[in-house]
Amino acid sequence: MYTSSVDDPWLSASYTMSSSVGTYPPQEGHAETNQELYQGFTNLVSSWPCFPGFSGSQLYRHGKGWHASLAPMVGTMVADTCFTARPTDIVVATLPKSGTTWIKALLYSTVHRREYPADSCDHPFNSLGLHECIKFFEYQLYTQNKIPDLNELPDPRLFSTHVPFVSLPRSVVLASSCKIVYVCRDPKDHLISQWSFANKFRISKGLEPLSVEAATDFFCDGVTPFGPYWDHVLGYWRAHLACPEQVLFFRYEEMSLDPVAHVRKLAEFVGRPFSVEEEEDGTVDAIVKLCSFEHMAGLEATKDGKTELVTGAVENSSYFRRGVVADWKNHLSPEMAKKIDAITEAKFRGSGFPV
C-alpha cells in the first residue's frame, strides 16, 4: 500500500484546485448545483492567462503551470472535485498524440479478454471507437454541466486523461491502489503528430495551416495542450519512480519495438497476468494484432465513426495517421530538432529519465 510523505509527488498533486467555488456535494441530477459548479470553475479559468494555441483556440495556463483550452480545463477541475475513485480503477494517462488510442486498445482488450477474445466477431472495437471504450474525464465524462453517475460501472472501471500528474483528480491520487498507465513519446514525434492533427482542425475551420516552425516555437515555449511536454513526462516519471506498482511507465518507441513484452507487462500490472494456456494458445499475439495500427485503422468504427468530445466531434480515422517512430525526420529541420533536443536534455538532466 502507498504511504505518503511530506514532499512526495502524490501529496502535492492532491491539494485543492480552488477554494473560490466553495465545497460541494454535487450529485447526478442536481442540475442547478452542477451548473453553479461548472460556472464557478469557468469564471476562475477565464481569469487566468491565455495564449493562442496550435489549433487556433485559446489555451489557458492553469495555476500549476500547464495549458489547456477552457472546457477540458474546467472538466479537469470538476473531476477533481466530484470523481470518487475505487481502488480497482485503472486510469490511462498520456499527453495527446503520444499513443493514447493504442494503449487504450491494449488495456481494454487485455482486461476484457475473457468476455471478448481478441479474435471474436463481436469484439467491441468493431463497433465502438477506442475513446468510447475508455472515456476521458475532461473531454467526455465531466462536461456540459454533467456530473456522471459512474457507480454502476463494473470493476475494474477504465478511464483516461491527458491531465498532468499534479492535477489528476485527487481521489485517483489518494485511492491508494488505483492504477495509472502512462505512455510517453519522443517529443519530436509528439510535436509532429499534434501539429498534423491541429492543421486538419484549422483547415476544417477555414484557418490557415500552421507552419512547422511556428508549431516548434509553441512547443518549445511549453504552450501546447497539457504541456509543457517535459513537465508532463517528468510528473508521471517521478510518480512511477516513487510508486512503480501504482504507476506503469511505457514509451511509445519501446512499445513499437516489442509490443508482446509490453502487453505481458500491462497484464501483470493490472493484476491479470496471462496463464500458461493463454501463452500457448496465442492470446497475447492476438491482442497485439487486434490493436495494431494496420488492423485498427481498417475497422469500420475507425473509418466511419466519430467521437463526441466537449471540443467537438472528431472522426475516429484522425487518430490514425502513420503510427511510426521518427516520422519527425520528414518534417523538422536539423536546427529545429537540435533546439528540442537541447531543451529535453536540460529539462531531464538529473531526473534519471533515460533520454
Q: Does 323 bind ligand PAP (CB under 6 A)?
A: yes
Q: Which of 99, 164, 169, 305 binds ligand PAP (CB under 6 A)?
A: 99
Build a one-symbol-per-residue string for 4-43: x at contacts with ligand PAP by CB under 6 A, - elsewhere.
----------------------------------------
| In contact, 148 and 140? CB cutoff 8 Å | no
Q: Which of these ranges, 3-11, 23-31, 111-119, 321-329, lies near ligand PAP under the rule CB under 6 A?
A: 321-329
Per-residue interface string for the shown chain with ligand PAP, residues 212-251, x marking contact by CB under 6 A: ----------------------------------------
Q: Which of 239, 230, 242 has its CA nearest to residue 184?
A: 230
- Piece in contact with ligand PAP (CB under 6 A), picked from 18-26, 56-64, 147-155, 314-322: 314-322
- 112 residue type, one letter: H
Residue 101 as a binder of ligand PAP (CB under 6 A): the answer is: yes
Q: Classify residue 331 by its DSSP letter.
A: T
d(CA 239, CA 226): 17
CB of 174 to ligand PAP, least distance (A): 26
Q: Is residue 344 within the footprint of ligand PAP (CB under 6 A)?
A: no
Of the pair 81, 283, the CB lying nearest ligand PAP is at: 283
Among 173, 178, 189, 269, binds ligand PAP (CB under 6 A): 189
Residue type, position 115, single letter: E
- CA 247 to each of CA 183, 230, 320: distance values in angstroms, whole numbers, following the listed order: 10, 18, 26
* Positive or negative torsion for Cα 119, 124, 126, 130: negative
How many residues bind to ligand PAP according to rule CB under 6 A? 22
Q: Return the amino acid letter for 255.
A: M
Which strands, in side-by-side order, build the sheet including 58-61? Answer: 50-52, 58-61, 67-68
* Least distance from ligand PAP to the Cβ atom of residue 327, Å: 5
In this structure, what is the dihedral angle of CA atoms 42, 46, 50, 52, given to the nearest 10 degrees? 70
Minimal CA–CA distance to 186: which of 294, 52, 336, 327?
Answer: 327
Query: What are the distances in angstroms from CA 164 to CA 130, 328, 347?
Result: 21, 24, 16
Per annotation, catalytic residue among 162, 190, 232, 240 = 162
Query: Smaller CB distance to ligand PAP: residue 40 or 222?
Result: 222
Task: Give yes or no for residue 100 binding ligand PAP (CB under 6 A).
Answer: yes
- Segment 110 to 169, residues that bind ligand PAP, using CB under 6 A: none
Stretch that binds ligand PAP, among 57-65, 89-97, 150-158, 281-289 (CB under 6 A): 89-97
* Strands (DSSP E) found in the chain: 50-52, 58-61, 67-68, 90-94, 135-136, 158-161, 179-184, 247-251, 306-309, 312-315
Is residue 315 close enough to count as binding ligand PAP by CB under 6 A?
A: no
CA pair distance 11, 2, nearest whole angstrom: 11
Do 167 and 65 form a contact (C-beta atoms < 8 A)?
Answer: no
Nearer to ligand PAP, 297 or 343 (CB): 297
Our finding on whether 272 is near ligand PAP (CB under 6 A) is no
305 binds ligand PAP (CB under 6 A): no
Supply the minimum distance, in Å, between the C-beta of residue 198 and ligand PAP: 11
Is 162 part of the annotated catalytic residue set? Answer: yes
Which residue number, 160 or 171, has a Cβ lying nearer to ligand PAP? 160
Amino acid at 256: S
Question: What mask, x for binding ligand PAP by CB under 6 A, covers residues 276 to 295?
Answer: ---------------xxx--
* Residues that are catalytic: 162
Residues binding ligand PAP (CB under 6 A)? 94, 96-102, 105, 189, 193, 196, 291-293, 296, 319-323, 327
